[in-house]
Amino acid sequence: MPPRTVLTIEDQPDIRRLIRMTLEFKGFTVQDAGDGREGLALARQGRPDLILLDVMMPGMNGKEVSRALAADPATAAIPVIMLSALGSASDVEAGLQAGARAYLVKPFSPWELLDKVAALIDEARV
């Protein structure tokens, strides 16, 4: 199986580190960005298999990043999982409306993260 690359766009270094350790433990290649603009540039440049995207970030927020990814033919097919402490039905709906394929509410379990990431990458590769 070819290597699977995940781009994490998250402004909290501790959360980025936790995600990186979880995914690398299962053999994923991980790139990360500390804000939306940097993440968008990395996504366009590196074309990861999946993007983990924090909703609340300074500057360009996750919904704005997701809409920009969806509008660009080069990145539109990359599955996005939004990560947020905001977990109401309307928050989840807004994330999905912005282009996310899945939405995980923080704190989430590492196993839940791994399951969602693997499932969406496999789905996108079919």
- Backbone φ/ψ region at 99: left (φ over 0), alpha (ψ -120 to 50), beta: left
Render pLDDT for 71-114 as a digit per residue (tens, 0 to 9): 999 999 999 999 999 999 999 999 999 999 999 999 999 999 99
> Which amino acid is present at 94?
A
Does residue 119 carry a pLDDT above 90?
yes
Does residue 17 carry a pLDDT above 80?
yes
State the pLDDT confidence band at 1, using cuts at 50, 70 and 90: low
Does residue 15 carry a pLDDT above 70?
yes
pLDDT at 4: 94
Helix (H, G, I), strand (E, B) or coil at 29: strand
Render pLDDT for 20-47 as a digit per residue (tens, 0 to 9): 999 999 999 999 999 999 999 999 999 9
Domain residue extents for the chain: 5-125
**Beta carbons of 57 and 36 less than 8 angstroms apart:** yes
CATH hierarchy code of domain 5-125 = 3.40.50.2300
β-partners of residue 5 are: 29
Q: How far apart are CA 120 and CA 123, in angstroms?
A: 5
- Backbone φ/ψ region at 27: left (φ over 0), alpha (ψ -120 to 50), beta: left
